Structures are given as C-alpha cells and as structure tokens.
Amino acid sequence: MKNNPLLKLESFGQSIWLDFISRRILDSGDLLRLINEDGVSGVTSNPSIFEKAIAESNDYDDAIRSLARERKTTAAIYEKLVIEDIQRTADLLHPLYDRMAGRDGFVSLEVSPHLARDGAGTLREARHLWKEVDRPNLLIKVPGTQEGLTVIRQLISEGINVNVTLLFGLPRYQAVAEAEAYISGLEMRVAAGLPLDRISSVASFFLSRIDVLVDPLLEKKLPEGGRPAERASQLRGKIAIASARAAYQLYKEIHTSARFRKLVTGGARPQRVLWASTSTKSPAESDVKYVEALIGPETINTIPLETLNAYRDHGNPALRLEGDLEGTERILQHLPETGIDLDTVTSQLENEGIEKFVKPFDKLLQALEQKRSSAQA
C-alpha cells in the first residue's frame, strides 16, 4: 500500500507495535505480513491476549493434548505454549532487531499477574522467563507497582530487558524512569563494570482506561452547575491524552539530564515511552484517537489489530504529541476544580489493572486444566 499511514509514522520517529499475539497469526504468516507491509516493529502480549488466543480457539488443542499425554501440569502447559509463541515472534522480529542494532524489534512477555504485589516472586519469575525464552529481543513485562520498582532496577542491573507495564500516573512514571528503577539499574551496571549498550526498556503508559474512569466522574458534576460543572464539560475525554503529553515532557527532562547523559557516554539508551491501552472505548469518539494525538519521536504505540486496521484505513499522521503544551498544562491544573484527584484515580486504576489481568489469567488456566484432563482421560 503506497500511502499506508502506518508506514509514515516511522518518519516521525514513532514505532508501531502490535498488541496481540496468537498461534494463528504466526502459522498463517499474517504477523510476518504486518511486519513487512505495515512496518510493525514489535509485539506486546498480556494474560488477556493469551486467554483469548488459547482458551477461545482450537488452535492450541493438538499441542495441549500432546503435552497432557506427557503428564505435564496445567502450569507447565501454559508456559510451554506461551514461550513457544514468544520465541517464534522474537525470531520473526530478529532481523529488524539486528538491522536496528537492538533499538527496536522486541516482543514482550508478562510475569504472572498474581505477582504484582510480590517483589521477590516477580524477580524470580522474570529471571526464569528470560532464561527459558532465551532471545535478546525479549522484554519481560513487570508491573510498575511500588513493589515492582526495586525488581525493575535489579533486572536492568542484570542485563534483563524490561517493559514496565500498568503505568497511569506521572509520579510513578518518574520513579520508574529515574530515581528508583531504570536509571538506577544502569548505574548499578556501571558500578559493576558491566556494559550498557544492549540494555533496553520501555515504560508503558496506559491511556483509554484513564478516560473510561474519569469521564463518568466528570459527567456526574454536570448537573451541579457552577465552576465544577463548567470545568467538567471542558475536560471530558481529554485527561488521558493530557497525562500522556505531560509524561512525554518528563521523559525529555529525564533523558536530557546530566545524570542520564553521563550514562549515554557508556552506551545507555533511553527508556522509551510506550502508549498502551490505545483502543477507543467510546463509540462517539474516533477509533484512532489515541494514535493520532500522540505521534512523536522516540515513542512507541502498541495497538490492537482492530485499531491497526483502522489506522491503515483512515489514519492521518502528523507530529501532534507536543501540540498545545500550555493547553495540556491547563487541563491537568483544572481537573482538581471538579473535585477529582488524579493521583487517587491512577491508584485505583493500578489496582483495577492488576485485577483485569488476574481474571483472564485464571480463566485461561481453568480452560487449560479442562483440556488437559480431557486429553489424559
């Protein structure tokens, strides 16, 4: 497609990753076509994606039966299926990873969502998955919870690539990028005399879930009248994008600081910001809202297949990430006038985000247990 909008995003310095993985798109060659024809340069996965791919299809049934007859446990079957998909995806992306000298071409695999508040357990599983997948272009997804910060720092110090997930608020993002995680992990490597040039990390800032929670709160203010109602009317549908734009300004500050520049001389790379949860939930809004508004250099947008197809069809690429920064600042300054505290909102979203992955993860294991039992019977 000569004028494919997806391909134009690369000229603005943004990478498009696919927020989806399944054995079907691997076997059919569809993922390879997305890489070659649409410029997809990475893939992200999560428990919800694997639940849909494995539990809601028959694509894995032969593999499940074979593993069940080997007397594998349900947990072992899950791990085997997922790691094989991740390895195959990593191999498809590896030529790009080589061509980009390790700057792109990654696939992400998440630790169990049950470990989100368990730092020791997260560290143990992250090391295990890194070893089992055994691909340099793997990113281990670790929730950016308070408990996860020291884990992220330790993993970076050990040379394990990390995708920090479930970020909603600016204070937590700053802690992840700078003081308590990524940069600190790099400094630990320097202190140990270890190289920095192949260490990669991204910080996944979740978007649509912010608006899904905040907009109904704003709508409740409308009947009250007065200044809160006026502000609420002005702010609906704007908080997620304003938060993302503010996060990008933090990204630029952190990565142009003297502290980080010192690491760059040793080969350190920036921890790019990744826009996640980018499918539009409201039918009244554009289905490419969270793609169009956040196009900018040194960023990644991971989008589900439906949104990717929509953007190919009617996307209009242009640099917009730093448009109207004064307006962005006003939006975030005016939100407290409605009685809504953004830090409280993002804390709630973090807790809900963990639960949103726990449920499909457990559902997937239940489905695998049924298939395993049936095969062994």
**Going by DSSP bridges, is the β-strand pair 201-206/272-276 parallel, antiparallel, or unpaired?**
parallel
Show the DSSP H helices in the chain as ranges.
5-8, 23-27, 30-38, 47-50, 61-69, 74-99, 119-133, 146-157, 170-174, 182-191, 208-221, 226-235, 239-255, 258-264, 289-292, 305-314, 325-334, 342-376
Alpha helices (H) in 21-73, listed in sequence order: 23-27, 30-38, 47-50, 61-69
Q: Using an 8 Å Cβ cutoff, are 248 and 296 in contact?
A: yes
Query: Half-sphere exposure of residue 35, counting CA atoms within 13 Å on the CB side?
Result: 23
Where does residue 307 rank: exposed (0-12), middle (13-18), buried (19+ CB within 10 A)?
buried
Backbone angles phi, psi at 302, to 5 degrees: -100, 120
The catalytic residue among 141, 238, 289, 371 is 141
Task: Verify whether residue 141 is a known catalytic residue.
Answer: yes
Query: Under the phi-then-psi rule, with left for phi > 0, alpha for psi from -120 to 50, and beta for the rest, what region is 24?
Result: alpha
Helix axes 74-99, 30-38, angle to 10 degrees: 30
Residue 66, CA atoms < 13 Å, CB-side half-sphere: 6
Of 110, 112, 100, 175, the C-alpha closest to 138 is 110
Catalytic residues: 141
